[in-house]
Structure 1
């Protein structure tokens, strides 16, 4: 049967993608960020996952203010890089895993999670930047991807607890899939940042590091954290961190941290990264 063997959390800052695409990874400003992903890149070569369930948020590329699904799952064969206003990123097409995706959709919907099924969409930096951070610039991505898009743009976003429970439902779905697959689940977005208003540029390092700590030490605190705390402590875009709880909920009660990286700043954002294994 399929199994979730590990999980990754990572920021998905669009400027990181631009730094990769424009050959700036060795620049003094960017180099410390990319060095924090070198361990993971080597580890992934050894782990060789077949499929990544990649939890991210769309930034008005596939969805507009007209249609805003709380949770959506991509069931397509392939996803192209979205044009976010400066042309699509020069990255390979993202290859889907529709058999697993449809199985997850059926399992989760029958498990009372109303996922929106997407059969065609482009994917933006929220998905492609983590792929580039983990795999560099290959001619083709070495894994297939099941995209899980979460609304953290238009209020109200889902609660941390609901995200955790979706992670549990995804884990049950994967475990019931009959094909032998090495599956990872990634949670992306965050960490603390605010892009507009009087607090634009906000970065809260104590909050971020406490969040990283409690993904292993006290995840219950994070499940119960209200939206207003994310907004107050991590800025208006810090709410993206609820997506990490989908990843964490899929791993079960106990996890082992394998790698951790935190750097300020990455553009106007705190960059966080964690690799976890279920125990």
Structure 2
């Protein structure tokens, strides 16, 4: 049977991809952020996962406001990134794990989750930035990816509890898969941030640290929040926390924190990093 090795939370801010592209990771602005990642990279190098399931949100590249699925899962053999206007050089395609992805989709439908199944799918910085952070130099050719895209751009959005339950169902589906594959699960997205309106630049460090504690020790406390709560406490883009809850739901209830870091601000965003085994 397949095994889930652990989970990783990480920011997916598009400016990170630009910093990598320009080679400025060790400049004073970026160094405190990038210096947090080597322990996670070492863990990945040691554990050698075969598959990464990545909870992320699309920012209008594949799903614009005219068609916005609540939950979408990729079952493709490859995923390509398109330039979103940052002028970044093209990166290699990301390999998909089609067979396991179809198994997960079948299990989710059996569990009464309504999902959009994507046999072709472009991916944006929500997925590619975490890949670049974990495998510098785009050295991710050895790992296969299953994208799980959750709507946090257009209301109505799925509740934190619904996303946690989705993660639980995905975790059960992985553990029922009849091939010996090792899986790591990512929950991506910035923490508190607001990019528009009167509160542009809003960051709530106290709430971010509360969420980093609860995601480990009491995720059910976060499932009692509403999307409105997240907007009020963490800014208009704060609902990205629901990707973290998807990741946490897929893991076993008991786990060990192998690494943790919080840095603010990066591109007007709170950036939290957790490695959970």
Alignment match, 2:191 = 191
Contact 1:194 1:238 in 2 (8 A): yes
| Superposed counterparts of 1:89-238, under 5 Å | 89-238=89-238
Alignment match, 1:246 = 246
* Deviation per residue, 1:134-186 (Å, 9 max, x gap): 11113543310000000000011111111111111001111111111001111
State the Cα distance separating 1:89 from its structure 2 match. Answer: 4.6
Alignment match, 1:26 = 26
For 1:138 and 1:12, the matched residues in 2 are separated by: 15
State the Cα distance separating 1:85 from its structure 2 match. Answer: 2.4
Q: Which 4+ runs in 1 deviate beyond 4 A?
A: none
Contact 2:160 2:242 in 1 (8 A): yes
For 1:72 and 1:87, the matched residues in 2 are separated by: 27
Structure 2 residue ranges without an equivalent (≥5): none
Contact 1:92 1:139 in 2 (8 A): no
TM normalised by structure 1 equals: 0.97
Please, what is the CA RMSD of the aligned residues? 1.1
Contact 1:51 1:146 in 2 (8 A): yes
For 1:68 and 1:89, the matched residues in 2 are separated by: 28
TM normalised by structure 2 equals: 0.97
For 2:89 and 2:79, the matched residues in 1 are separated by: 13
| Superposed counterparts of 1:247-266, under 5 Å | 247-266=247-266
Q: How many residues align?
A: 277
Contact 1:160 1:245 in 2 (8 A): yes
Contact 2:70 2:158 in 1 (8 A): yes
For 2:255 and 2:181, the matched residues in 1 are separated by: 20
Structure 1 residue ranges without an equivalent (≥5): none
